[in-house]
Amino acid sequence: MSIIFDNSIKQAGRNGFPIITGYFVVSFVFGLTAVSQGLPIWCPILLSLIVYAGAAQFTFLALIASNASTLTIVLTTFLINLRHMLMSVYMSNILDNIKISTKLRLWYGFGLTDESFAVHSMMANNEQLNAKFLISFNTFCHIAWVLGSILGALISTLSENIIDLKLEYALTAMMLYVLISLINTREKLFVAIISIISMSILSLAYESYLNIFIATAIGCAFILWKKNKV
């Protein structure tokens, strides 16, 4: 029972609550969409268990709907999730300073997402950043993701009309919360503003999923140039 009330686990729940609730809503929509497209109820649940990647899972649905080949689905998923390799390398250096076993490292790597990376990387020098906190944080998020998929899939089998609910804002709202919570210095504010402006200009010129990466690179490049100039 003492494990349940461990401070690190409670802190992980508090820090991760906005992400946990956001994941539940987004995966709920995923479960609804998957079953409404004719996939068996176990499919979205299994994907949420073993893939656990929002962009990749929704892309999978789009590719299935367009009758894409298996090779196309695999390659597309690989490219979309390629960024996780960079995030894992970065977090690996942080984990070197934490007492964490190889098995837990693998479990942590599996549960690492864009949002958890954003939170954990900013806490690199925080005393709360320990193995129990990190694993609990990721586990809570993954559980919410799976539960949302299960509920969405079940409800989709009972009512076809609920798919008309407009819940697409959930992921955007969650990402905005993460962004705002991480802006605690003037430099980070500059990066965010420049990235947003760059993203707006790029989207007006040409719509592409790569725009967000380009805009982020522009924001980071600006602050690096500013630092070197000073």
* pLDDT tens digits, 98-137: 888 889 999 999 999 988 998 898 887 776 688 899 999 9
Residue where the block lists tokens 């990466």: 213
Instruction: Tell me if residue 66 falls in helix, strand or coil.
Output: coil
Query: Residue 5: what pLDDT?
Result: 47
Task: Single out the residue of 141, 143, 133 nearest to residue 9, CA to CA.
Answer: 133
Q: How confident is the model at residue 53 (pLDDT cuts 50, 70, 90)?
A: confident
CB 37 within 8 A of CB 130: no
Burial 69-83 (b: 16+ CB within 10 A, else e): eeeebeebbeebeee
Instruction: Tell me if residue 40 falls in helix, strand or coil.
Output: coil
Is pLDDT at 42 greater than 70 in this prediction? yes
Residue-averaged pLDDT of the chain? 82
- The torsion angle over the Cα atoms of residues 62, 177, 190 and 134, rounded to 10 degrees, is -90
Query: Residue 94: what pLDDT?
Result: 87
Query: Residue 93: what pLDDT?
Result: 86
Angle at which helices 70-80 and 54-65 cross, to 10°? 160
Whether pTM > 0.75 for this model: the answer is no
